[in-house]
Amino acid sequence: MIRLDRRAHVSLAARIGAPIAAVIVALALAGILIALAGAPVLEAYRRMLIGAFGSRLSITETLTRTAPLILTGLAAAVAFRARLWNIGAEGQFLVGALAAAALGSQHGLHLPAPLLIPALMLGGAVAGALLLLGPLMLRLRFGVDEVVTTLLLNFVALLFVSMMIEGVLKDPLAFGWPQSVPVVGDALLPKLLPRSRLHIGLLVAVGLALLVALVQARTVFGMESRAAGLNPAAARFAGIGLTRILVLVACLSGGLAGLAGAIEVMGVKGYVTTDLSPGFGYTGIVVAMLAALDPIGVVFAALFVATMFVGADSMSRALGVPSFIADVIVALSLLAMLVALSLANYRIRR
């Protein structure tokens, strides 16, 4: 009989080694598919690396992609850690983007740049948080499963954005394309490097990851939300208000996802379209899982996922392998990560 025994201590090496091993296994498995597509496997991966890091342009593009993924990854990680199953980061991202565009347009707030940028970020975060508080209230009041409600709200949010950018927020100068009015020049995020799309949103994202890590490890709120997630009954017995914790966690999680949307508008595009997000919200869930819900790990997981997506585009152009291979690699690494985490946490005994 095979049994899984819980390990008493999981070493740091095992915790860091698990995701690395998972990625290697995923790349090996995806290699089979690349070979089936008729391309040389090693060459394909070389092209991918070049595509992601081979030039100044590609590096900045990869990092530009990383920033929103860090934020949506954090959004999923903080929620999951408290057992709040927020699958709605995609919708929260979109309403956050829309809020930033609306508040940052000519008809929005009139503030000097140093105040306008934080105000728009806050506006996006508030919009995202509000979108998550609805499903949370339904769960607390009526026991409605938030997995369902947050997931379905993604489509509501997408259609709402579509309605707005075809309607009141439509840009009259866009030759009829469905896009929102642009934000004013003062609302655009300063670039990190000139002549690139890389903006200070990356610093904001990394800074927030460090902040979330600090909050989780050192504060009363961090410890109480961890207890509430791990054992709600014991948390209640110890006098921790579960409702309060969940509301705060929802504000944080929805806020991070909404902020990601605001930053993407202010840093990259300047306006909202319905295809603003190539699934940043959903991919954030994968990022969080790859990072085993660790806030610092989220930064590295987001970088890995961004590398795969940016790199796969260029590999696809060079070798004719469909760029969907990036999705396959990310999905495989998630599966491999789940196995690797089990192996790190449990010992197989016969």
**End-to-end alpha-carbon separation of the chain, Å?**
6
CB 79 to other proteins: min, Å = 18
Tell me whether residue 2 or residue 36 sits nearer to other proteins (CB atom).
2
CB 222 to other proteins: min, Å = 8
Segment contacting other proteins (CB under 8 A): 1-9, 187-195, 259-267, 302-310? 1-9
- The single residue among 15, 46, 197, 226 that binds other proteins, judged by CB under 8 A, is 226
Does residue 247 touch other proteins according to CB under 8 A?
Answer: no
Q: What is the DSSP string of 63-87?
A: HHHHHHHHHHHHHHHHHHHTT----
- The single residue among 198, 212, 227, 276 that binds other proteins, judged by CB under 8 A, is 227
CB 238 to other proteins: min, Å = 4
CB 9 to other proteins: min, Å = 8
* Contact partners, residue 256, CB within 8 Å, separation at least 6: 71, 72, 74, 75, 78, 125, 128, 208
CB 1 to other proteins: min, Å = 6
Locate tokens 């929260």: which residue?
A: 92
DSSP state of 184: P
Locate tokens 């806020």: which residue?
A: 255
> Binders of other proteins: how many residues, by CB under 8 A?
22
- The single residue among 235, 259, 298, 308 that binds other proteins, judged by CB under 8 A, is 235
Q: Contact, 19 vs 340, CB < 8 A?
A: yes
Does residue 237 touch other proteins according to CB under 8 A?
Answer: yes
Q: Give Cα separations from 114 to 117, 138, 236 (angstroms).
A: 6, 38, 43
CB 248 to other proteins: min, Å = 12
Q: Contact, 251 vs 129, CB < 8 A?
A: yes
CB 170 to other proteins: min, Å = 45
Instruction: Give the distance, in angstroms, between the CA of residue 250 and the centroid of all CA atoms in the same chain.
Output: 15
Contacts for 304-307: CB closer than 8 Å, 24+ residues apart: 304/23, 304/333, 305/69, 305/330, 306/52, 306/62, 306/63, 306/65, 306/66, 306/69, 307/48, 307/52, 307/53, 307/62
Per CB under 8 A, contacts with other proteins among 206-225 are 218-224
For 337, the 3-state DSSP assignment is helix
Q: How many CA atoms lie within 13 A of 66 on its CB side?
A: 28
Q: Contact, 296 vs 213, CB < 8 A?
A: yes
- The single residue among 234, 296, 339, 348 that binds other proteins, judged by CB under 8 A, is 234
- The single residue among 41, 147, 240, 343 that binds other proteins, judged by CB under 8 A, is 240
Tell me whether residue 222 or residue 322 sits nearer to other proteins (CB atom).
222
Does residue 12 touch other proteins according to CB under 8 A?
Answer: no
Q: Is the dihedral of CA 318, 319, 322, 323 positive or negative?
A: negative
Tell me whether residue 84 or residue 157 sits nearer to other proteins (CB atom).
84
Distance (Å, rounded) from C-alpha 207 to C-alpha 36?
42
- The single residue among 114, 142, 239, 275 that binds other proteins, judged by CB under 8 A, is 239
Does residue 6 touch other proteins according to CB under 8 A?
Answer: yes
CB 240 to other proteins: min, Å = 8
CB 226 to other proteins: min, Å = 7
Tell me whether residue 48 or residue 213 sits nearer to other proteins (CB atom).
213
- The single residue among 148, 211, 230, 296 that binds other proteins, judged by CB under 8 A, is 230
Tell me whether residue 13 or residue 233 sits nearer to other proteins (CB atom).
233
Residues engaged in binding other proteins (CB under 8 A)? 1, 6, 8, 218-224, 226-227, 230-231, 233-240
